Amino acid sequence: MHDLIRNMMKGKRVLLLGFGREGQVSYQVIRQALPGQRLIVADGNEKIRDHELLRGDPDIDFQVGPGYLDGLDRFDLIVKSPGITLKDIVPAVDPARITSQTDLFLRKYSRQIIGVTGTKGKSTTSSLIYHILNNTGVESLLLGNIGTPAFHFLDKITPSTTIVFELSSHQLQYVICSPHIAILLNLYQEHLDAYRSFLEYQLAKMNITRFQQEGDYFIYNSDDQIVAGHAAAFRKRQTLIPFSLSEVRDPVLGHLHNRYLRGDHNRMNAMAAVKACRLCGLADDDIAEGLDSFKGLAHRMEYAGRYHGIDFYNDSIATIPEACMAAVRAIPGVDTLILGGFDRGISYDGLAQFLVQSEVSTFILTGMAGERIAQAMEAVGIQGKRLIRIHRFDDFAGYAVKYTRPGHVCLLSPAAASYDEFRSFEERGMRFTELISKAENT
């Protein structure tokens, strides 16, 4: 990696754009490769001037505060963190000048990587693949969007390491290399606040296969019409491997009874994982054993406990309508559904139609997104159902206990992002679990 960085950056005017968790790891690796080269660090947070990693580095300049995105065309190379959007930069920055930790990592290790993306399901699928590989004794690593920057693992990678890399659209947007095995699970409206259009978001995702070569594999959901259309258009020399709920029952999945993988959407995640593990040379018996022992992930249709005779489920990861609908279908007995949060402008018409026809009787709605969902449901007609609008997320617990019938389920599956009240969906999920446990004593 150090040789690659030196070849790309030595003697150039390099901007490190973003100094969060990934930017900090990128700085450390770049500085190891180029100890004396001048670097410019840009971030909206002016306090990074005093960051302990940068303190004492005489070869650092700063571009911080409100104007940190100004004049990007002055730099030869921009090492961008995934959380920063450039959609409003005028004139647009030449993509050839933009790289990232993901781009560099793919250039170096693409032949060893199973890359997983999709609007929903990528964390479950990545974790499932890693679990099956690890359970079978395959030397493997799990990294990327799931929480750990790729560069953190540089000293752990050998030529025989299989790397499972969860990839977001933000990470994929400016790459020029694709993984050896690429998986695309689905494409739904999300992150529209960070892209000029839904199509731009889709095309960023498609970079997972755009640069594949002969001998590479693209595993994709052929039931998703948008994905299938792009797969046909992006076919080059890679081998296409579709998966579908309508295909002949897989001998491994035919025996899948793991309660952490319930619902058609998780069956699709498991199908993608099985196909990837077979490409790695694993036997069906070993794959089946890994599927059976998988314990699922937090905040994804996670059973949170029984209080007042009510079963509570935490599906805080459900930040789009399709994920919410999948959870309602997968969990029997949902009587109360908690919805809403930060409004990113996605359509809730299809969700509203689904919800008014569902068996759910009580809807607790929060935030601007909750108000839009409520309005969409009222437009369809909500006869026999209860809509409760709350001013803040914390107000849900009393209503949930009051209106959910004992023996039934109260489900948090918001169909919206969490950024109006929380820093992440994880924080929202933990708050949900904390409040329902307190409700037991009321």
244 and 160, same structural domain?
A: yes
403 and 323, same structural domain?
A: yes
159 and 256, same structural domain?
A: yes
CATH of residue 90's domain is 3.40.50.720
Give the pLDDT confidence of 359-387 residue by residue, as tens digits.
999 999 999 999 999 999 999 998 889 99
Give the pLDDT confidence of 136-164 residue by residue, as tens digits.
999 999 999 887 889 999 999 999 999 99
What integer is the mean pLDDT of 48-61?
94
Q: Torsions phi, psi of 206, nearest 5?
A: -70, -10
Exposure string for 163-202, b = 16+ CB within 10 A, e = fewer: bbbbbbbbbbbbbebbbbbbbbbbbbbbbeebbeebeebb
243 and 116, same structural domain?
A: yes
CATH of residue 421's domain is 3.90.190.20
* Mean pLDDT rounded to a whole number for the chain: 94
Domain boundary among 293, 325, 350: 293
Domain boundary among 99, 120, 146: 99
Give the pLDDT confidence of 185-231 residue by residue, as tens digits.
999 988 778 888 999 999 999 999 999 999 999 999 999 999 999 99
313 and 222, same structural domain?
A: no
Give the pLDDT confidence of 398-423 residue by residue, as tens digits.
999 999 999 999 999 999 999 999 99
Total count of domains within the chain = 3
CATH of residue 258's domain is 3.40.1190.10
204 and 147, same structural domain?
A: yes
Whole-angstrom distance, CA of residue 212 vs CA of residue 210:
6
13 and 82, same structural domain?
A: yes
Q: What percent of the chain has pLDDT over 70?
A: 99
Tokens linked to 83: 């959380």
Chain Cα centroid distance, residue 224: 18
Domain boundary among 99, 117, 140: 99
210 and 152, same structural domain?
A: yes
362 and 241, same structural domain?
A: no
Whole-angstrom distance, CA of residue 95 vs CA of residue 77:
10
424 and 341, same structural domain?
A: yes
Determine the pLDDT at residue 441. 54
264 and 199, same structural domain?
A: yes
Banded model confidence at residue 431, pLDDT cuts 50, 70, 90: very high
Question: What residues make up the domain containing 274?
Answer: 102-293
CB of 186 within 8 A of CB of 119?
A: yes
Pairing label, strands 409-412, 334-340: parallel
First to last CA, the chain: 57
111 and 90, same structural domain?
A: no
The predicted model scores a pTM of 0.85
